Amino acid sequence: MDSKKERYLAIRNITLIGVIGNILLTIIKLLFGFYGKSQALIADGLHSLSDLISDSVVLIAAKFSSQDADADHPYGHARFETLATVIIGSLLLIVGLGMLFDTVHRLFEPALLWHPTAVSLIIAILSIVIKEALYQYTNAVAKRVHSQMLEANAWHHRSDAISSVFVLFGIAGSLAGFYWLDAVAAIVVSFMIIHIGWSLGWGGIMDLVDTGLAPNQIIKIKELIQSVDGVRTLHDLRSRKMGADALVDVHILVDPRISVSEGHQIGEMVRARIIKENNEIADVLVHIDPENDLDAKYNLNLPLRHEIIARLQQSCQSLEAHHAIEQMTLHYLSGKITVDIYLPLSIVQNIKEAKTLSQHFSALVEDDQIIHDIRLYYSTSPNTSSLPLQHS
């Protein structure tokens, strides 16, 4: 079973437990809230009802977000989880504001205040125990599978438990003759729900608009990159959240004379090290730079290989050695092109002839505005590493 499937099943199972608990608590709180004449308990029942709705949103979002990437969603479906977090937060905000307005109205109209009975007190205690247990269990699973959405739902359970504590004091105060305490408890619960709703909703919105990772995380990532052998410096480090995951892009500067495969290897080491040290980061895109971007921008006007080869073939017709060229490497640096030409060692008899040939090749591009220099390298065979004999 793959990790995405395991993650989905963990989220689904704990959420289904929450659904069962919220169904029972919603029915019990609303029924005994009306029967026991407690406005605070009814408000708490509506809070449990919003928990039930948010559980449904979590189940749907977890199903979609666990799907693999496809043609329409090449980065996967993790944003469904973020969207669910925003919906849960918005739901809490609406419920909290609705309860607040109704309770304040009743508080200023004493005739509308209810007088709770002892049965409401028992239900409040039962709610505290059940919701705190749901919070502890759900939060533990959320941390294990790194789910922001599930953590948001866990805090929904915790907010319901805390609100029930205030309901408990409100009902107890009303039973002691302070009837307004039940309404005050309902107001406190409303503010709690509003605060949590705003925090979750705003946090989800920040992820949807590609807010980056925290500054301390960025500093750690930079240190990891700079610790990789071959990385000279880095720039354009960017990050964004995708549900429970994060994506990182970075440009690294390497020695411009190394091979493509070595540059790729350095980039892969950077990618692997970042992912290994950060469980939250799902992927890293590494762009390899042979020089800083200010110099590199001038290279966009330079011709590509087929034009350079055609240009050199025309210039090298006068040199018999041009038929023996085994390999040609182009270096695009600082708005100019340097050409490395590889020849078999057998075409020269000694170092003096090698230097003379190098001078002939260099002379071909003395007045060239694009090709800065031609450097010759000799090898004993096409597959053997060579020592450079070059003219500067």
Of residues 85, 63, 79, 243, the one with CA closest to residue 156: 85
Question: To which H or E segment does residue 343 belong?
Answer: strand 336-344
Q: How far apart are CA 345 and CA 278, in angstroms?
A: 50
Q: How far apart are CA 333 and CA 289, in angstroms?
A: 11
SS3 50: helix
Comparison of pLDDT for 60 and 168, the residue scoring more? 168
Compute the mean pLDDT over every residue in the chain, rounded to the nearest whole number.
Answer: 80
- Residue 392's pLDDT band (boundaries 50, 70, 90)? very low
pLDDT digits (tens, 9 = 90+) for 291-307: 877 666 667 788 899 98
Q: How far apart are CA 293 and CA 336, in angstroms?
A: 14
Q: Let me know: does 391 contact 375? Beta carbons within 8 Å.
A: yes
pLDDT digits (tens, 9 = 90+) for 337-389: 999 998 898 888 888 988 888 888 888 888 888 888 899 988 876 554 434 43
What the chain holds in terms of domains, given with CATH numbers, is: 3-208 (1.20.1510.10), 215-290 (3.30.70.1350), 298-379 (3.30.70.1350)
pLDDT digits (tens, 9 = 90+) for 189-203: 788 778 878 887 887
Low-confidence winner among 61-75, 176-190, 303-317, 333-347 (lowest mean pLDDT): 61-75
Instruction: Please give the biggest Cα pair distance in the chain.
Output: 114
Rg of the chain over all Cα atoms, to the nearest angstrom? 34
pLDDT score at 348: 86
Low-confidence winner among 6-10, 57-61, 82-86, 140-144 (lowest mean pLDDT): 57-61
Percent of the chain whose predicted confidence (pLDDT) is above 70 = 85
- Residue 224's pLDDT band (boundaries 50, 70, 90)? very high
